Copies of this chain bind each other. A is one copy, B any other.
């Protein structure tokens, strides 16, 4: 019942700002390439365009056809696709303020019920609503994106140091 996979683990040369790198290659050419990428955010709510960073990892992975999976490791942040335009980013943040009311009563912000002192229940609701994972197709050794699609990381409880796990798999 145990896997008989022969896995070759390679440690690629480190890149500044990338940590936790590892690569596993199956005998067939199917491979899994793992990285953790870090950012420092500066505002409580902030949107980052991480498209170039993800594409760089896909290129380094050597995967030509397959999937790239992104996962923020923090519950008060999110990953999603949107257009990268200043006016729209402003509207997007206003929408997050509208759809999750920060000033409503939350038990998570009430010392009687919670030992969390960040008073960040709204950040949790936003991270949960927008999603903490994102899968995208890799085609021809690049992330597949429509003309107006960028990969956004949303900080909902900054400023903080944030990590996104990137996994590229395929052939």
Binding site for B on A (CB under 8 A): 1-7, 10, 12-13, 22-32, 34, 60-67, 69, 71-75, 80-83, 85-88, 90-92, 95, 98-101, 104, 106-108, 110, 113-114, 116, 121, 124-125, 127-137, 139, 144-149, 163, 165, 167, 169-171
Contact = CB atoms under 8 A, between A and B. Distances in A.
Contact of A30 (B73, B81, B134, B171): B171
Given A149-B73, A171-B7, A65 B28 contact: no
Contacts of A29: 3-7, 26-28
A28 B67 CA distance: 18
Contact of A81 (B34, B101, B133): B133
Contacts of A26: 28-30, 171
A73 B108 contact: no
A31 B5 CA distance: 9
A125 B80 CA distance: 11
A67 B132 contact: no
